[in-house]
Amino acid sequence: MFDSGVGGLTVLGALVDHIPSANYLYFGDTARLPYGSKSAATVAHYVVDAVRYLQQQGAELLVIACNTATALALPEIKAAADVEVIGVVEPGAAAAAAATRTKKVVVIGTEATVSSHAYRHALSAHGVVAYEKACPLFVPLVEEGWVEHAVTEQVARVYLAEAFADSAREADVLVLGCTHYPLIRPLLRRVAPEHVAIVDSAESTAHEVARMLGQSDSAAQGRRGEGRLGAGATLKFFATDSADKFRKMGTRFLGLPVEDVLHVDLKE
Amino acid sequence: MFDSGVGGLTVLGALVDHIPSANYLYFGDTARLPYGSKSAATVAHYVVDAVRYLQQQGAELLVIACNTATALALPEIKAAADVEVIGVVEPGAAAAAAATRTKKVVVIGTEATVSSHAYRHALSAHGVVAYEKACPLFVPLVEEGWVEHAVTEQVARVYLAEAFADSAREADVLVLGCTHYPLIRPLLRRVAPEHVAIVDSAESTAHEVARMLGQSDSAAQGRRGEGRLGAGATLKFFATDSADKFRKMGTRFLGLPVEDVLHVDLKE
């Protein structure tokens, strides 16, 4: 799995619940995050570096657990990789298309994800109209740990009021198009219009990976919480900034101890 | 001048008011920002790259217009540079020491600047006690353009209440230890205790550079606003992410048109 930082650990956490006994390699490009405000060329350049590194470590399937990287660089990543690559946008779009009755959904994400219109294109292929809204303050608020703070609620009210304005009033699904957002899902549930269903791309992607690998979803039953990792499973992490900082923040996102972290300098 | 992004343009703006007729080269490492949450080794590594590039472009004096880079890597930068280097921490600390009567000041900045205790060390040398407080949400709020927003005011109330708590109640100076903060100075002025003086490191650094170059401060009189650039002056910008994004956001920070921007890829 690849992500710009720790956000993709929400995808990893969901995946562990589906497939508890795999060997997971997770690469967080923490020295160069956030990707959300960067240009497509810069993001593609960074991700291809990391993907090559993960292949050298033996990766046999690549999950791009980052909405921005998927939105901006999936074709470039697929071209550079020798193994199968799955991103978070298509599974999220498919789940949203299955959930909407009005065929109108709101997608929230970083500035780069929204500007790329990756969700709009993916949802359009499913016959669904997407209203996209950039929410650049959510990532720093989550990283500050203010997941149930009055300020975060006020910011969410501003963003969601804009997101569900005008013709987007008819939207009946809210897609969490950034892997940081599952941490404020309870808050977003309270602030979003009541009739709106929430679709989490992290969860949808984990589901899709399990399906590809032929794992039954029933494997996830009763596994949440402690003892989620199966026999023979391994979790190995690579971070381009401080390993210690990755360990500390990572545990909060994964919901499992983040221990085996190796610092990697991609410039060498 | 070097900065991780556009924040250092507040230092450049102040400097242009002091020395209107110089040739300015400004390097914004926008592909790798923000530095505020990164480790010292990573920051040093990045800045030394950029400093070498600026010297190749003919820089004869280097201003590190970034509190985080100064706090974490000034000795490494000085060792790598062949020209004189000035950072923003010492000028800010000197101005704060001159302004305080109680010999106690509060310093606000990014997480990395605060963790480095660079201001604490610098102020201690002036016989002043520093109370340092990380305010990681201010940079994204300023970049969102919410400089006079109710949310930013609420965040400022939370941060400053913590900053001026307990023994820091006696502090009579607030140091803006991040080059983004001058944009929310009016808001901080309203929220900070009334008796507290605000010292802006950006302004203090510009003053110090003018002094070093033997320029009289009176040169700045009446020059603010339009027509600030003197005869023969040039402004040239280098950005590691999109030149177009740098132009757009930069103009807001500089208060002058940002036009001549070259995209630079330091990995090549």
Residue type, B152: T
CA dihedral A176, A180, A185, A189 (to 10 degrees): -50
Token reading at B169:
């109640």
If asked whether residues A108 and A211 sit together in one domain, one would say no
**Domain presence at residue B185:** yes
Q: For residue B25, what pLDDT band results from cuts at 50, 70 and 90?
A: very high
pLDDT higher at B231 or A105:
A105
Q: Does A242 contact B42 at a Cβ distance shorter than 8 Å?
A: yes
Confidence of residue B83 (pLDDT cuts 50, 70, 90): very high
CB A21 within 8 A of CB A210: no
Distance CA A258, CA A266 (A): 21
Q: Which residues of chain A have pLDDT under 50?
A: 219, 222, 268
> How many distinct structural domains can be found in chain B?
2
Q: Does B158 touch chain A (CB under 8 A)?
A: yes
Extract the tokens encoding A93. 């779009």
Closest CA to A108 of A193, A199, A41: A199
Tokens of B135: 């305010």
Domain finish residue from B151, B175, B201: B201
Tens digit of each residue's pLDDT (9 = 90 or more) over B137-160: 999 999 999 999 999 999 999 999
Residue ending a domain, choose from A202, A228, A243: A202
Q: Are residues B79 and B116 in the same domain?
A: no
Instruction: Give domain status of residue B77, yes or no.
Output: yes
pLDDT(B226) > 60: no
Task: Identify the pLDDT of residue B246.
Answer: 94
B52 and B124 within one domain: no
Chain A neighbors of B38, CB-CB under 8 A = 30-31, 241-242
Q: Do B42 and B10 belong together in one domain? A: yes
Q: What would the pLDDT profile of A222-262 be if each residue is shown by its tens digit?
A: 455 556 888 888 999 999 999 999 999 999 999 899 999 99
- Looking at chain B, which residue has its C-alpha nearest residue A149? B155
Same structural domain, A112 and A165: yes
- Domain membership of residue A65 (yes or no) is yes
pLDDT at A217: 55
Contacts of B41 in chain A (CB under 8 A): 242
- Same domain? For B58 and B160 the reply is no
Clarify whether residues A82 and A177 are in a common domain. Answer: no
State which residues form the domain around B112. 90-201
User: Which residues of chain A have a CB within 8 Å of the CB of B42?
Assistant: 31, 240-242
Whether residue B36 is predicted with pLDDT greater than 90 in this model: the reply is no
Write down the pLDDT at residue A34.
80
Q: Is B42 on the interface with A (CB under 8 A)?
A: yes
pLDDT at A267: 66
Q: Determine the Cα–Cα distance for residues B29 and B68; give it in Å rounded to an integer.
A: 13
CB-nearest to B144 from A30, A137, A240 is A137
Q: Which of these three, A157, A175, A202, is where a domain ends?
A: A202
Contact (CB<8Å) B154/A158: no
Same domain, B94 and B190: yes
Decide if A268 is inside a domain: no
Listed in sequence order, the residues at least 6 apart from B68 whose beta carbon sits closer than 8 Å to its beta carbon are B4, B34, B35, B36, B38, B43, B109, B110, B112, B113, B178
- Do B37 and B94 lie in one domain? The reply is no
Q: Judge whether A157 lies within some domain.
A: yes
Can you give the pLDDT at residue A214?
81
Separation in Å, CA of A209 to nearest CA in chain B: 31
pLDDT reported for residue A109: 96
Per-residue pLDDT reduced to its tens digit, B241-260:
999 999 999 999 998 999 99
Average pLDDT over residues B264-268: 74
Decide: A62 and A73 in contact? Cβ < 8 Å. no
Q: Is the pLDDT of residue B228 over 60?
A: yes
Contacts of A188 (CB under 8 A, 6+ apart): A156, A160, A174, A176, A181, A198
Give the span between the Cα atoms of A107 and B104, in whole angstroms.
48
Q: Check if the beta carbon of residue A28 is closer than 8 Å to that of residue A3.
A: yes
User: Half-sphere exposure of residue A9, counting CA atoms within 13 Å on the CB side?
Assistant: 25
Long-range contacts of B183-186 (CB under 8 A, 24+ apart): B183/B10, B183/B142, B183/B147, B183/B252, B183/B253, B184/B138, B184/B141, B184/B142, B184/B147, B184/B152, B184/B156, B186/B148
Tell me which residues of A are annotated as active site.
66, 178
Partner residue facing B42 (CB), from A42, A139, A241: A241
Q: What percent of chain B has pLDDT over 70?
A: 95
Interface test with B, best of A6, A39, A244 (most B CBs within 10 A): A39
Longest dimension (CA), chain A: 52
| The two structure tokens encoding residue B65 | 């217009």
Query: Do residue B11 and residue B97 come from a single domain?
Result: no
CATH label of the domain that carries residue B213? 3.40.50.1860
CA A117 and chain centroid, separation: 16
CA B53 to CA B77: how far, in whole Å?
A: 13
pLDDT of residue B72: 92
Q: Is residue B60 assigned to a domain?
A: yes
Taking the CA of residue B141 and the nearest CA in chain A, the distance in Å comes to 7
Looking at residue A104, its pLDDT comes to: 98
Same domain, A243 and A118: no
Q: Check residue A268 and give its pLDDT.
A: 40
Q: Confirm whether B268 is domain-assigned.
A: no
Contact B136 A140 (CB under 8 A): yes
Predicted TM-score (pTM) of the model is: 0.88
Minimum distance, in Å, between the CA of residue A5 and any CA atom of chain B: 12
Confidence at B268, pLDDT banded by 50, 70, 90: very low
Give me the interface pTM, i.e. the ipTM.
0.84
Q: What is the DSSP letter of A195?
A: T
> What's the whole-number average pLDDT of chain B?
92
User: What pLDDT sits at residue A160?
Assistant: 98
Query: pLDDT digits over A130-160, tens only?
Result: 999 999 999 999 989 999 999 999 999 999 9
Q: Which of A93-102, B110-119, B205-214, B216-225 has the lowest mean pLDDT?
A: B216-225
A117 and A33 within one domain: no
Per-residue pLDDT band at B37 (split at 50, 70, 90): confident
A140 and B143 within 8 Å at the Cβ level: the answer is no
The token pair that represents A127 in the structure block: 């016959």
